């Protein structure tokens, strides 16, 4: 709206002009130095706010997570001294190793000799195991943030200082699971153009890969880290009985993979 109008050649201020003049008259004029100071403070505040938002969104990618705090959601192991935490980690690995060795050398051969039908049924599930690994590997990229949340934070248990970023390890293990699962799946089909060793080599690779990713699973037990779920979702805290059941399933899976890689021992 124009601030002035002309009537019969006479310029008359409009009400807007009076309002604008009054506003300018009563508006405080700040020194330029104070204005510059305020501007700098405002920009710094915005920068801090942006950093905070990025910290909240990308916390697990940067290794700063709520579950890295001792005692998160009642996690008992993470409240122990670091030496004791490392002892728990070693103890879980030792228990898995002893149980898997006993299963592969004693239980597996005994079942194969006494209940051959059960072993035949197990053999029919090998393609499904391969397909499961392929799906799990693809999930490393589909719900990558969930797997990043499982990755142990730097300094976990007082010993976790593995080189490489969490994203790197989540992605290479995902690729390895897809490759191993595909090899197991294709090898189980016994196609004439595929090498005979593909099935056993894939199973042995997945057996070794399982041990490489177990720290992430154990991290869920010791620190109550969330599982690999989409962003915005959260699994309920797993109690010790649930973790024990997961351990038994891992022993069972390791035994199957070892049996596929060494069929003559069945």
Whether 207 and 258 have beta carbons less than 8 Å apart is answered as: yes
Kindly give the pairing relationship between strand 10-13 and strand 4-7: antiparallel
Assigned token pair, 53: 């938002």
Give the dihedral sign, CA 160/162/167/172: negative
Q: Give backbone dihedrals phi and psi of 154, rounded to 5 degrees, phi first.
A: -60, 125
pLDDT for 229:
82
Q: Please, how many CA atoms are within 13 Å of residue 184, restricted to the half-sphere of its CB? A: 31
Q: Are 131 and 185 in contact (CB under 8 A)?
A: yes
Tell me how far apart the alpha carbons of residues 35 and 31 are, in angstroms, rounded to a whole number: 6
Cα distance between residue 57 and residue 179, in whole Å: 31
pLDDT tens, N- to C-terminus, the chain (266 residues): 444 444 444 444 544 444 444 444 444 444 444 445 445 544 554 444 433 333 333 344 445 789 999 999 999 999 999 999 999 999 999 999 999 999 999 988 888 888 878 777 888 888 999 999 999 999 999 999 999 999 999 999 999 999 999 999 999 999 999 999 999 999 988 888 899 899 999 999 999 999 999 999 999 999 999 988 877 777 789 999 999 999 999 999 999 999 999 875 44
The answer to whether 246 and 213 have CB atoms below 8 angstroms apart is no
Q: What is the pLDDT of residue 44?
A: 52
Extract the tokens encoding 215: 């720290």
Q: Residue 222: phi, psi to the nearest 5? A: -80, -25
């Amino acid at each position: 709206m124009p601030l002035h109008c002309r009537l019969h050649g006479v310029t008359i201020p409009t009400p807007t002009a009076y309002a604008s003049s009054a506003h300018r008259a009563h508006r405080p004029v700040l020194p330029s130095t104070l204005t510059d100071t305020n501007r700098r403070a405002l920009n710094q505040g915005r920068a801090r706010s942006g950093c905070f938002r990025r910290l909240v969104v990308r916390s697990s990618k940067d290794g700063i997570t709520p579950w890295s705090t001792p005692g998160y959601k009642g996690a008992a192991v993470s409240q122990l001294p670091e030496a004791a935490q490392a002892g728990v980690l070693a103890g879980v690995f030792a228990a898995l190793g002893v149980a898997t060795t006993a299963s592969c050398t004693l239980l597996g051969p005994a079942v194969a000799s006494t209940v051959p039908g059960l072993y035949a049924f197990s053999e029919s599930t090998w393609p499904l195991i391969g397909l499961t690994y392929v799906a799990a590997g693809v999930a490393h990229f589909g719900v990558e943030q969930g797997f990043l949340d499982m990755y142990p934070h730097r300094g976990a248990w007082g010993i976790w200082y593995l080189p490489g970023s969490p994203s790197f390890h989540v992605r290479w293990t995902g690729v390895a699971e897809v490759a191993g699962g595909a090899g197991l799946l294709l090898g189980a089909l016994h196609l004439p153009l595929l090498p005979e060793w593909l099935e056993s080599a894939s199973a042995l690779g997945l057996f070794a890969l399982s041990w490489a990713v177990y720290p992430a699973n154990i991290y869920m037990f010791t620190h109550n880290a969330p599982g690999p779920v989409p962003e915005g979702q959260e699994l309920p805290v797993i109690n010790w009985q649930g973790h024990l059941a997961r351990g038994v399933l891992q022993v069972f899976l390791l035994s199957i993979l070892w049996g596929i890689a060494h069929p003559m021992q069945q």
